[in-house]
C-alpha cells in the first residue's frame, strides 16, 4: 500500500492524499491551493501526479471548504468519472461553494481582460479559469451523500465510516478499513478538527481506539488559542472603539462556518447586553446560502446555538441581520459611514465582495477590520495581519489607516492542546502518524509535541509530492 501527499504537506491548503492499495486507488480530498501567485501555478499543475485520474475508483471528501474540495471539477475535467462521497451537509454545501468558486474564477479572468484592454494591452498570457461554472455543475453530479456513522463500501476491499469532526457543518474524520494482500489496515484521516467547547457545532468525535496509519492536521499545531472569554473581551473592545469613533466594523469571514459562528457570537453578546443592538449586513451570496443550509441541519447544531436562534428570531430589534443578495445593494453598503457591521467573503480577503468593502474602509482610521480566521501566506489578509501600511486592491493602492484587530480565539481549527487531546483517544500508538495540513514550522513543532507527550516513534512530516510505501 502506498500513500501520496499531493497537497497540504508543509502547507495548509490544497489537501489531497492518494491511497493506492495495489487493488484500488482513491483520493481523500481534492482541494485548491490558496494564497498568492504561487497558488495559481500549483493549481494548474495539480492532478498531474504521474498516475491516470481515470484509474481512480472513488474520492472521499472530509468537508466542503475549497482548500479540500476546490479541484474536484478539475479532476473531472481530466477524466475522472467515479463517485465523490461526502456527508449530506457537505454535499449541500458543495452545491454552493464549487459554483461560487467557478463564478469567481470566471469573473477574475473577465476583470483581467478588461483591465488589459484599458491599458491597451493584448489578452495573450491571461490565465483562463481553472474551471467554469458548467464544469463545476458537471462535477457535482458525481457527489454521493452519506450519513455520519454509516458504513460505506465504495470498493470490495474498502470500508469507510464518516465521524463528526466539529470543524464546519458536515465536516468529518474518516475511518478507512482496507483489506489488501491478505491483511487489514485501519487508516484514520482527521480532516480538519474543530475546537472543543466552541459554539454552533458539536465537539469533534473521539477517534477509533486503534489505527495502523493516522493523518492529522496541524494548522495550529504550534500554538494555543486564547480562551473564548478573552476573545469576547477583544471583540467588545473593538466594537466600542469603532462606535465611539463613528466608523464601521468590517469582518472578512469564510462563508461556511466562520460567518455563522460570528453571527452566533455577536447575537449572544447583544443578548447578554455586552454589546448595544447591532445592524449586521452579511454580504456574501455564498454565506447567505450556507446559513440557510445550516438552519436546515439543526440536528447538527449544539443546544446553545438552537436556543440563540430562537431568541434572535423573537428579538429582531436587538440583532437586525440583512442578508445582501444583489450587487447594487452591496454597492450601497459602501455609502454607510458609521454603525454598520459588514461580514463578507472571502475570509482571506483575496476574492469576492470583501475586497470592495476593504477598499472603501481601510483608508478610514475610524473603522475596524476584524480578522477572525487563518490567513494563508501570500494573501491580502496575511499582509494586513502582518502590518502592511499600503496594499493594492483591484490594482489600486489603498492606505491602511483602519484598526486591524486580530482575534485568535474564533478559529474553527483545534489548537495544539486540542489536537493532542484528540490523539490521546488512541488506546495504543498508531503504526505511523503523518502530520499534514500545517505550514512547515507548525507541522514540525506539532511533531515534536506529539513525541514529547506520547513518546511515539513513527511520527513523520511528509514532503510535498512524496509517495510513502507502507
Checking 439-448 for CB contacts under 8 A at 24+ apart, the result is 439/10, 439/11, 439/12, 439/377, 440/10, 440/11, 441/222, 442/218, 442/219, 442/220, 442/221, 442/222, 442/223, 443/10, 443/218, 443/221, 445/221, 445/222, 445/416, 446/218, 446/221, 446/222, 446/416, 446/419
Residue 269: predicted pLDDT? 97
- Asked which of 57-66, 113-122, 375-384 is least confident by mean pLDDT, the reply is 113-122
Please say if the pLDDT value at position 330 is more than 70: yes
- Asked which of 92-101, 107-116, 300-309, 388-397 is least confident by mean pLDDT, the reply is 107-116
- Asked which of 100-109, 160-169, 349-358 is least confident by mean pLDDT, the reply is 100-109
Residue 275 bridge partners (DSSP): none
Residue 6: predicted pLDDT? 93
Please say if the pLDDT value at position 357 is more than 80: yes
pTM of the model: 0.88
Mean pLDDT of all residues belonging to the chain: 93
Reported confidence tier of residue 216, pLDDT bands at 50, 70, 90: very high
Is the Cβ–Cβ distance between 405 and 425 less than 8 Å?
Answer: no
Residue 156: predicted pLDDT? 94
CATH number of 2-223+412-469: 3.60.15.10
Q: So where are the chain's domains? A: 2-223+412-469, 228-406
Give the residue from 450, 429, 452, 430 showing the smallest Cα distance to 438. 450
Q: What percent of the chain has pLDDT over 70?
A: 99
Mean pLDDT across the stretch 123-132? 80
Instruction: Extract the C-alpha cell encoding 122.
Output: 493584448
Give the residue from 411, 210, 251, 469 showing the smallest Cα distance to 347. 251
Please say if the pLDDT value at position 125 is more than 80: no
Reported confidence tier of residue 49, pLDDT bands at 50, 70, 90: low
Please say if the pLDDT value at position 110 is more than 90: no
Mean pLDDT across the stretch 243-270? 94
Please say if the pLDDT value at position 50 is more than 80: no
Over residues 12-43, the pLDDT tens digits come to 999 999 999 989 999 999 999 987 778 888 88
Residue 375: predicted pLDDT? 85
For the 228-406 domain, the top CATH level (class) is alpha beta
Reported confidence tier of residue 1, pLDDT bands at 50, 70, 90: very high
Mean pLDDT across the stretch 286-290? 91
Reported confidence tier of residue 426, pLDDT bands at 50, 70, 90: very high
Amino acid at each position: 500500500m502506498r500513500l501520496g501527499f499531493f497537497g497540504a504537506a508543509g502547507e495548509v491548503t490544497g489537501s489531497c492524499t492518494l491511497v493506492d492499495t495495489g487493488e484500488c486507488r482513491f483520493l481523500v480530498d481534492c482541494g485548491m491551493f490558496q494564497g498568492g501567485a504561487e497558488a495559481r501555478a500549483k493549481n494548474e499543475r495539480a492532478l498531474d501526479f504521474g498516475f491516470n485520474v481515470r484509474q481512480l475508483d472513488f474520492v472521499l471528501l472530509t468537508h466542503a471548504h475549497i482548500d479540500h474540495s476546490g479541484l474536484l471539477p478539475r479532476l473531472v475535467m481530466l477524466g475522472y468519472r467515479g463517485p465523490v462521497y461526502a456527508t449530506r451537509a457537505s454535499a449541500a454545501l458543495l452545491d454552493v461553494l464549487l459554483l461560487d468558486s467557478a463564478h469567481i474564477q470566471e469573473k477574475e479572468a473577465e476583470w483581467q481582460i478588461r483591465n488589459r484592454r484599458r491599458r491597451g494591452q493584448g489578452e495573450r498570457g491571461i490565465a483562463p479559469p481553472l474551471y467554469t461554472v458548467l464544469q463545476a455543475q458537471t462535477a457535482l453530479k458525481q457527489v454521493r451523500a452519506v450519513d455520519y456513522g454509516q458504513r460505506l463500501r465504495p470498493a470490495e476491499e474498502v470500508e469507510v465510516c464518516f465521524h463528526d469532526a466539529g470543524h464546519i457543518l458536515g465536516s468529518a474524520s474518516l475511518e478507512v478499513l482496507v483489506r489488501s494482500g491478505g491483511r487489514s489496515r485501519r487508516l484514520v484521516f482527521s480532516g480538519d478538527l474543530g475546537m472543543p467547547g466552541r459554539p454552533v457545532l458539536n465537539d469533534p468525535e473521539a477517534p477509533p481506539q486503534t489505527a495502523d496509519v493516522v493523518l492529522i492536521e496541524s494548522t495550529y499545531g504550534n500554538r494555543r488559542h486564547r480562551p473564548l472569554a478573552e476573545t469576547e473581551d477583544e471583540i467588545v473592545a473593538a466594537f466600542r472603539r469603532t462606535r465611539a469613533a463613528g466608523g464601521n466594523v468590517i469582518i472578512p469571514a469564510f462563508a461556511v462556518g466562520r460567518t455563522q459562528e460570528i453571527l452566533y457570537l455577536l447575537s449572544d453578546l447583544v443578548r447578554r447586553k455586552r454589546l448595544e443592538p447591532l445592524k449586521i449586513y452579511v454580504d456574501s451570496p455564498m454565506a447567505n446560502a450556507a446559513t440557510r443550509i445550516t438552519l436546515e441541519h439543526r440536528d447538527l447544531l449544539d443546544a446553545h446555538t438552537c436556543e440563540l436562534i430562537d431568541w434572535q428570531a423573537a428579538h429582531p430589534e436587538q440583532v437586525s441581520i440583512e442578508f445582501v443578495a444583489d450587487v447594487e445593494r452591496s454597492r450601497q453598503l459602501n455609502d454607510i459611514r458609521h454603525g454598520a457591521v459588514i461580514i463578507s467573503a472571502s475570509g482571506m480577503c483575496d476574492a469576492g465582495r470583501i475586497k470592495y468593502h476593504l477598499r472603501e474602509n481601510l483608508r478610514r482610521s475610524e473603522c475596524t477590520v476584524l480578522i477572525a480566521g487563518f490567513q494563508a501566506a501570500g494573501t491580502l489578509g496575511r499582509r494586513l495581519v502582518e502590518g502592511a501600511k499600503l496594499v493594492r486592491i483591484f490594482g489600486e493602492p489603498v492606505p491602511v489607516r483602519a484598526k486591524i484587530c486580530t482575534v485568535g480565539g474564533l478559529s474553527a481549527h483545534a489548537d495544539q492542546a486540542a489536537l493532542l487531546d484528540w490523539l490521546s483517544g488512541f488506546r495504543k500508538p498508531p503504526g505511523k502518524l503523518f502530520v499534514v495540513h500545517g505550514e512547515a514550522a507548525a507541522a514540525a513543532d506539532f511533531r515534536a509535541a506529539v513525541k514529547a507527550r506520547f513518546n511515539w516513534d513513527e511520527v513523520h512530516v511528509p514532503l510535498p509530492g512524496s509517495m510513502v510505501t507502507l
